Amino acid sequence: MRLQYIAIEGVIGAGKTSLTKMMAETFAGRSLLEQHDTNPFLADFYKNPQRYAFQTQLFFLLSRYRQQQEIPQTDLFHNMLIADYIFAKDRIFASITLEDREFVLYEKLAVLLERDIVKPDLVIYLQSSTERLLGHIKKRGRDYEKFITEEYIKSLNEAYNQFFFNYKDSPLLVVNANEIDFVHEENDYQDLLDQLNRPISGVQYYSPKKS
């Protein structure tokens, strides 16, 4: 099957946006990137998660939904669409940030919106350790991320792993990204591209061996 829509996922700091941009350039495709900076509640959420979780989550849910509605309208000049998230990720965050009553309300809205969402031909999950994720977050130095705690990333990492352990909506390639650097190591990037030339159905795992 020819891949026309690939989504790349991973916890904050996994490198999904960098990889999305690289692959879009390689395949002369279109990238679909999350707009984190447009969420007016995000910085407040990292400072005070309990108070701002619901507003933050609803803004992301509706923002991601609006973006997803553009997918069927991709123009003919692009052979491939590559996104740095899947719509279902929103539920992962909601499950660990919202209180029970908030999550019930959120879930009712999310279920309605999900009916219109196009499923990717392939999802690539960049699986990383909490320590590596925290290192990347610190290195890139986004001002609004400086309040992110190790506990939050750890819980998010566990939630992601559990989610993708049960994921069945699209073919899934799970990449052990702990020891590789797609951005600065050309061989690492090419090895991953080679994986995409092979048939992928169900769930497959890719763990590069460094020489």
Strand partners for 205: 174
Residue 199 is which amino acid?
P
Cβ atoms 174, 127 nearer than 8 A: yes
Catalytic entry in 84, 90, 181, 194: 84
Please name which of 106, 124, 99, 133 lies closest in space to residue 193, comparing C-alpha atoms: 124
Reply yes or no on whether 90 is catalytic: no
In angstroms, the CA 207 to CA 147 distance is 31
In angstroms, the CA 54 to CA 182 distance is 34
- Indicate which residues carry an active-site annotation: 84
